[in-house]
Structures are given as structure tokens and as C-alpha cells.
């Protein structure tokens, strides 16, 4: 059985999908990002119901009434936030129900379960991935079970136990990807997750730089450590978007560059975690100096930062930056190839984000290319590297140099003067980006 979901905010859509997937037997959830693609697909494939926001990409749900094929559908349709004005055209078979904006997960799922109860059964025990439990990382307020058979579950953790990284590893070693909890508890857990996501989206006050930086780094490390076994799951997407949101809000609050460098420097540990987080914050900050202040640009840079090295399994591999580093290293030919191809492999991860502009995959694919064409994997040179990739490459160089400097000893002006003397970033798009950073940053450091 398939359910079609169409929500403006795809992170919130993920939470709804998690809820339906967890409580409905054999349910797959498909996400749509426009009424056009929704209208086209639901007429071709069998869906049990449609759940949608009242408006999507600036269009109102009533736009779908223009399509006679859509108006002939006889499956239930739930419109969130569409309390008024949704009377279907005369003669159509549409069965539309409105759900209030801000509906709780419990009401949302129970309404859908009730409407579909003729066709399938809802579960008394709902499935939750151990990854989602790790994301919550709090004291459990409910019992957790493992499934022995369709009607037999045994308790493995009690309410008030803690689900931490150790518990996560324990279940992972036993190859148990899912645990079970009773339906009301499941709804509370998912409601909680939705509440946290909405809070992040609504917050108008950014966190202080150091708190924001260490939260982002901690979340990144959770994603990175689970990536190898879990892949890029909806929970990872939620977490990655949450970290991007934090980075953007922090930079928008406009801390001085010197403050940002100083606070970042205080928290240097694991290479991939630290340099991905530092890259996210600093690339957004340097973008503001170039006058690139749009949220879309911050989103691209921050997402590229979080994902660019995610396909590399260790700090040792991620620290190799240039073709020379690779030639001189004692890695096996297989590991060298893994490093050489990681920009392409990491770029593939963003296929999980449906609305991401292709530019993000270019930034990731090009992050080890160099202005002179001696980088990897494509040996692209300054003529093929865009301005936003140039900014990313320069920032990558800054954070990597900073990582290897003793604490509080990194001097951005000395770094820029050195690269200027060597004419490292003088050609193509690099020239303009580098000169602007050099000029503007001296006033702020």
C-alpha cells in the first residue's frame, strides 16, 4: 500500500513519513514536491490516500481541481491547513478532509489510520529505527521491545533507561536496525521530534557561536559515525538540515569574523567533524563578505560542507588534500582510489534531497580541484571552476591550515598574504573571490 505525501517543508514531510511508516503495516510513503508531479503520478499508480499541505511552491491545492483526471480520483485526500475553501468542483468524486495546521502526529496518524482501516491494519507495536532513538539520545519515557513474531514482542529496555551511543552500538552489533514500542508511545516520540524540528525552524534567536558550533559538530559526528552502516536515511537528512539551520542562523546573527575564528579554534578535535563544521560556518561568513547573503547560497555552502567528505570512512583518508599528498602516502592502491573518487561519491549523497540545486553536487565534486588543474578527480582548472566552488576551495584550504596550527595561533591575514605571494588563487573566478576576502577580512580580524 502506498501513501502520497506533498509538503512544502521536506524535513517536516520526513517526520510525517516516519510516523506513517512506523504505524501502518506494509506502507510505503512517496514524497512529492509539487502539485503537478503529484497530480500526474497519482493518476498512473495506485495510492491508498493523499496527504498534502494546502499550498505548495506558491500554488494552492485548488489548482489540482483543474485536472479532470485528478477530480475523478476516489481515494481519501487530507489537506493540512486547508480548513476553508476546498469544496471540490461539481460532479467530482473527490473525498477531501481538512486537518488543522499544526495538527499533532497522534491526530494526524489516527485520522489516516481510521480512513484506511478497511484496507489494512494499523500496528499496536510501531517500528522505530535505532538511529532515530540515537538522535533523541534522551532518557527513555517508554518501554522498548524486540519483535519475535507478528504477535509476540519482548521488552529489552525500560522507561527511564538511557539510550546512548553504547546502546546504539549494542543493537547494531546484533544487526537489529529496528526496535518496537506501543503505538501511543510511538506517537509521543514522533511528536517530540516534530516539535524540535519546528522549534529550530521558528527560532529567531541564534545560539552563541561556541554552543552552536559544538552542537553542529556533535550532530555531524552522529551522522558520520552511522553513515557507513545506515546510509543516508531520512533521520540523517533531518539532522543534516538541522545543523545547516543552526549554521545559517549563527552566521546571520553576524558575529565578527575574528570571533568566529576564535570560537571555532577552541573546539578542534576529530578532523572530519571539525573541518566540516568549520567549513560550513566559515564559508557562509565569507560569502557575506562577497555580498552573497541569500539563504539559498548559505544552504548550498552549508550542505556541501556537511556532505563533502561523508563518503570517507576515516580521518586519515580525509586529511589527504592534494595529488602530492596521495602520491607520497603509503596507502593501498584501493584506498588511494577511494580518496580520489570521494568527491564524486559524496556528491551522489545529495540525490536524497529532491529540491537541491545541481550546484551543490558541483561544489562537492570540485572540492579537491585546483586553479592550475592539478587536483582530483577531474583535473578541472580555474576555467571550469565556478565562483561558489572557488569560495569553497579557498575556505577548505583555510580550515585545513587552521586545523594543523597550534591552538590560537592561526593568523588569517598571514595565511592570505602567503597565498597572495604564491599567486595560488589569482586566476579565473578565484581572483575576484580571493581579493574580496583579503580586503574585507582585514577590517574584521
| Chain positions contacting Fe ion, by CB under 5 A | 309
Cβ nearer to Fe ion, comparing 20 with 304: 304
Instruction: Read off the C-alpha cell for 359.
Output: 550546484
Q: How far is the CB of 343 from Fe ion (least distance, A)?
A: 6
Given the complex with Fe ion, which of 309 and 365 has the nearer CB atom?
309
Helix, strand, coil percentages, rounded to 5, for the chain: 55, 10, 30
| Residue with smaller CB distance to Fe ion, 105 or 364 | 364
| The C-alpha cell that represents 305 in the structure block | 560542507
Minimum CB separation of residue 338 from Fe ion in Å reads: 11
CA 343/CA 326 separation, integer angstroms:
14
Q: How far is the CB of 437 from Fe ion (least distance, A)?
A: 19
Q: DSSP class of residue 100? A: -
The least distance separating Fe ion from the CB of residue 259, rounded to whole angstroms, comes to 24
Closest separation in Å from C-beta 433 to Fe ion: 18
Q: DSSP label at 116? A: H
Nearer to Fe ion, 17 or 307 (CB): 307
DSSP class of residue 5 equals E
Q: What gap in Å lies between CA 103 and CA 97, rounded to an integer?
A: 13
- Of the pair 14, 309, the CB lying nearest Fe ion is at 309
Whether residue 66 has a cis bond before it, omega within 30° of 0:
no
CB of 308 to Fe ion, least distance (A): 5
Which is nearer to Fe ion, 11 or 350 (by Cβ)?
350
**For 262-283, b where at least 16 C-beta lie within 10 A, e where not — what string?**
bbbbeebeebbbbbbbbbbbbb
Residue with the CB atom nearest Fe ion in the bound state: 309
Alpha carbons 131 and 137: distance in angstroms, whole number: 10
Task: Give the up-direction half-sphere exposure of residue 416: CA atoms within 13 A in the CB hemisphere.
Answer: 17
Q: According to DSSP H, which parts of 51-164 are helical?
A: 68-71, 105-116, 130-136
Beta-carbon-side half-sphere exposure of residue 60 (alpha carbons within 13 Å): 10
Set of cell numbers at residue 397: 584550504
- Report, in Å, the least distance between residue 345 CB and Fe ion: 10
For Fe ion, which is the closer residue by CB, 73 or 350?
A: 350
The minimum distance between CB 387 and Fe ion, in angstroms, equals 19
Q: Tell me whether residue 183 or residue 268 sits nearer to Fe ion (CB atom).
A: 268
Which residues are bridge partners to 52 per DSSP? 6, 79
Distance CA 288, CA 298 (A): 9
> Please, what is the minimum distance in Å from the beta carbon of residue 444 to Fe ion?
24
Please work out, in degrees rounded to the nearest 5, the angle formed at the alpha carbon of residue 233 by the alpha carbons of 230 and 234: 155
Q: How big is the chain by its Cα radius of gyration, in Å?
A: 24
Closest CB 376 distance from Fe ion, rounded Å: 10
Pick between residue 124 and residue 325 the one whose CB is nearest to Fe ion. Answer: 325
Residue number, 28 or 314, with CB nearest to Fe ion: 314
Which three cell numbers, joined as nine digits, stand for 423?
599567486
Residues 6+ apart with CB under 8 A from 122: 23, 24, 25, 113, 183
Choice between 61 and 227, CB closer to Fe ion: 227
CB of 220 to Fe ion, least distance (A): 12
Grid look-up 573518487 returns 341
Q: Report DSSP letters for 165-212, one per residue.
A: HHHHHHHHHTT--EEEEEHHHHHHHHHHHHHHHHHHHH--SPPPHHHH
Amino acid at each position: 500500500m502506498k501513501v502520497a505525501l506533498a509538503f512544502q517543508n521536506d524535513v517536516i514531510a520526513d517526520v510525517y513519513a516516519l510516523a506513517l511508516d512506523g504505524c501502518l503495516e506494509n506502507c510505503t510513503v512517496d514524497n512529492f514536491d509539487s502539485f503537478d508531479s503529484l497530480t500526474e503520478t497519482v493518476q498512473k499508480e495506485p495510492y491508498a490516500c493523499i496527504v498534502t499541505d494546502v499550498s505548495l511552491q506558491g500554488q494552492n491545492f485548488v489548482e489540482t481541481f483543474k485536472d479532470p483526471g485528478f477530480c475523478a480520483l476516489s481515494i481519501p485526500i487530507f489537506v493540512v491547513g486547508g480548513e476553508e475553501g476546498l469544496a471540490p468542483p461539481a460532479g467530482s468524486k473527490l473525498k477531501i478532509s481538512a486537518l488543522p495546521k499544526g495538527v499533532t502526529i497522534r491526530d494526524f496518524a489516527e485520522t489516516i489510520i481510521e480512513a484506511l482501516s478497511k484496507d489494512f491494519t494499523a500496528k499496536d507495536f510501531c517500528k522505530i529505527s535505532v538511529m532515530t532513538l540515537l538522535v533523541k539520545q534522551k532518557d527513555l519515557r517508554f518501554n522498548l521491545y524486540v519483535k519475535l513474531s507478528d504477535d509476540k514482542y519482548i521488552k529489552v529496555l525500560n522507561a527511564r533507561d538511557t539510550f546512548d551511543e553504547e546502546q546504539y552500538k549494542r543493537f547494531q552489533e546484533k544487526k537489529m536496525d529496528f526496535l518496537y514500542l506501543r503505538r501511543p508511545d510511538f506517537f509521543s516520540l514522533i511528536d517530540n521530534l516534530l516539535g524540535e524540528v519546528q522549534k529550530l525552524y521558528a527560532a529567531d534567536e541564534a545560539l552563541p557561536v561556541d554552543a552552536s558550533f559544538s552542537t553542529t559538530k556533535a550532530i555531524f559526528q552522529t551522522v558520520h559515525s552511522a553513515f557507513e552502516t545506515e546510509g543516508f536515511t531520512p533521520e540523517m537528512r533531518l539532522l543534516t538540515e538541522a545543523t545547516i539551520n543552526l549554521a545559517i542562523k549563527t552566521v546571520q546573527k553576524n558575529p565578527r569574523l575574528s570571533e568566529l575564528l576564535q570560537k571555532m579554534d577552541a573546539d578542534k578535535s576529530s578532523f572530519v567533524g571539525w573541518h566540516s563544521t568549520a567549513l560550513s560556518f566559515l564559508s557562509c561568513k565569507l560569502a557575506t563578505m562577497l555580498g552573497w547573503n541569500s539563504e539559498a547560497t548559505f544552504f548550498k555552502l552549508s550542505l556541501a560542507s556537511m556532505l563533502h567528505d561523508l563518503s570517507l570512512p576515516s580521518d586519515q583518508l580525509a586529511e589527504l588534500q592534494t595529488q602530492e599528498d596521495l602520491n607520497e602516502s603509503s596507502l593501498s592502491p584501493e584506498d588511494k582510489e577511494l580518496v580520489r573518487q570521494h568527491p564524486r561519491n559524496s556528491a551522489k549523497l545529495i540525490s536524497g534531497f529532491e529540491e537541491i540545486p545541481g550546484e551543490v553536487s558541483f561544489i562537492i565534486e570540485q572540492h579537491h580541484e585546483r586553479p592550475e588543474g592539478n587536483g582530483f578527480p577531474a583535473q578541472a582548472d580555474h576555467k571550469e571552476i565556478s565562483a561558489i566552488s572557488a569560495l569553497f576551495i579557498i575556505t577548505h584550504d583555510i580550515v585545513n591550515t587552521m586545523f594543523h596550527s597550534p591552538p590560537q595561533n592561526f593568523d588569517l591575514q598571514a595565511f592570505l598574504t602567503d597565498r597572495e605571494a604564491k599567486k595560488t588563487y589569482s586566476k579565473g573566478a578565484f581572483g575576484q573571490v580571493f581579493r574580496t576576502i583579503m580586503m574585507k577580512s582585514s577590517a574584521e580580524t
